[in-house]
Amino acid sequence: MMPVGTTLSRWTMAYFGAAVFFLLFAEILLAAGAWAPSLDIAEPHALIVVHSVTIGWLGLLMIGALLQFAPVMTGLSLPADRIDAASLGGLVVGLGLLLFGFHLINTGSSAAGLTMVAASLTLAASILSIGLVLFAVLWRGRAAHAASPLVLIAIACLIVTAALGSLFAVTVSGVVGAAAIVEFVTNAVPFHASFGLLGWMTFAAIGVSYKLLPMFLLSDDMKRSPFIRLSGSAGISMLAIATFCAMFDPALARSIFLMGGLVFQSTIAAYLVELFRTYRSRRRKTLELNTSGSLPAFALLGISAPMLVLAPLFHAGSELVTAAAYLFVFGWLSGLGLAQLLKIVPFLTWIEAFGPLLGRRPTPRLGDLIAGSRAAVWLGMFYVAVVAAAAAIAAGSDLGFHAAVILQTFATAALAVELLLARALANVEPATKRAPFQQPALFFAANHRGNANGSAS
């Protein structure tokens, strides 16, 4: 599955650990009542939750995955991993400042402006540095695999998202008060969210899954990437035009934005058709947890993406739009992320711990590292809770949402424990860990060279 001598990203596990922490942090805030369907999504406490999920959970998760799999996509090595650790530190510190800044705005503190400026500078520098490193590698290896151009689009959208976010941060904190900029920020919030959720996160998820799913399913490579790339680029281009038009004609910007959303539906449809064909043509007939556990995420993508466009197009209430966004963020992106972590974390751990021993003595199967049946229960519980929470949002039920999000938080915490147990090799027989053997560290790869000879499955 990965070639002999595969180099492991030293800091990918640290990115994953920080990502899961921020997901749990956001869900605990929701469970504690930081936001409910009866409250405005633009309130500072709600923005703390939103950015903990988007930057902290999904952003760190995707960057951590790309640090490991961008070289696999391209056959090229990333530069020295010092930038990985520095960027992780900058992202965590910058996000911490941003969340604290939202809290200061809520309390009316005069320190909010300075805090938001510091947050914007720290986040922008960190995102730009790691984004350019990944972009450069993927650009040089763009012809090696169909996934690379898709992830290039995602990284371009990440940089735009960060630029808009920096402008928004200094505006809502009162540092920038020009009437024209304030009006633009007010009108451009959906565009900022779309560049992040659709452009950056969805294209990155599609690109990474284009490489990983055929590998894990033992199926042929996906073939529709040119259409997905072109239609997605058209939708992103229309989003960029809409953002520009928001400066002088918000009505025109909204119309172009909705048309871009309709174009993007063809991208999603082509991707889902490609997934269906990949699953049907697989040579691994028994689905593993990560591939079976991703199926609800793909289904929720097919449901939530059209809802996000059709709801505003037909002037549906804000509750339906928010419910669709919840399904998109937690059902599609988070569900897919958690399902794939249940494979990636044991996979990288197996390569680091047992790859050097392969052929020298018996080694455990990859599936032995994770309690699959138990993790499947937690993942199923997560999906049920997400759908219930979205239904409660659509119905305007604070009580129903609160109950569902408590269940969602519990399921996420249980999955986090399973990932920790897999990384700590707690499910593996002690006899398999006799010397010579090096126990992997929880949050970084000490053994860079996996030396895995073939599949770990």
- Which tokens sit at 185? 């920020």
pLDDT in tens, 83-97: 889 999 999 999 999
Give yes or no for a contact between 147 and 208, defined as CB atoms under 8 angstroms apart: yes
Contacts of 245 (CB under 8 A, 6+ apart): 252, 253, 256
pLDDT in tens, 321-347: 999 999 999 999 999 999 999 999 999
| Mean pLDDT in residue range 62-79 | 88
pLDDT above 70 as % of the chain = 95
Q: Please state which of the ranges 188-192, 284-288, 355-359, 419-423 shows the lowest mean pLDDT.
A: 355-359
Quote the CA–CA distance of 443 and 430 in Å, as a whole number. Answer: 21
* Average pLDDT score, the chain: 90
Quote the CA–CA distance of 103 and 126 in Å, as a whole number. Answer: 22
Provide the strand spans (E) within 66-138. Answer: none
pLDDT in tens, 243-266: 999 999 999 999 999 999 999 999
Residue 1's pLDDT band, with cuts at 50, 70 and 90, is very low
Cα angle at 20 between 55 and 159, to 5 degrees? 20
- Which tokens sit at 296? 């609800």
pTM over 0.85: yes
Quote the CA–CA distance of 340 and 317 in Å, as a whole number. Answer: 34
